[in-house]
Amino acid sequence: MSNKIDLTGKTFGELKALKENGRGNNRSFLWLCKCSCGNFKTVNGIYLRHGNTKSCGCLLHKSPQNKLDLTNKIFGRLKVTKWAGKNK
Ligand SMILES: [Zn+2]
């Protein structure tokens, strides 16, 4: 019980540790966390402190898909009918 670290109220990425929530493997502590998206997730404190877990998982879903879908949008007299790849 000597190396318990109180993470209450601390934030790790998108997660904020709310309270201790039982024990995990290797005598580690689990923490109930609230994600910035509103979801709750129980995370091993080791993962929090090492930065392995930074969200409830929602960050993984925010894929870097920044390609705008211009299909069927009209620019002047041009109409985009399909994605034709990148210009060189
Ligand atoms: Zn989330």
Predicted confidence (pLDDT) per residue in 20-46, tens digit: 999 988 888 999 999 999 999 999 999
- The domains of the chain are located at 11-62
Q: What string of DSSP letters covers the chain?
A: -TT----TT-EETTEEEEEEEEE-GGG-EEEEEEETTS-EEEEEHHHHHHTS--SSSHHHHS--------TT-EETTEE--S------
Give residue 11 CA to ligand 1 midpoint distance, Å. Answer: 13
pTM, entire model? 0.65
Query: What distance in angstroms lies between residue 52's CA and the mean position of ligand 1's atoms?
Result: 14
| Separation of CA 57 and ligand 1 centre (Å) | 6
Q: Whole-angstrom distance between the N-terminal and C-terminal Cα of the chain?
A: 61
Where helices occur in the chain by DSSP H, the ranges are 45-50, 58-61
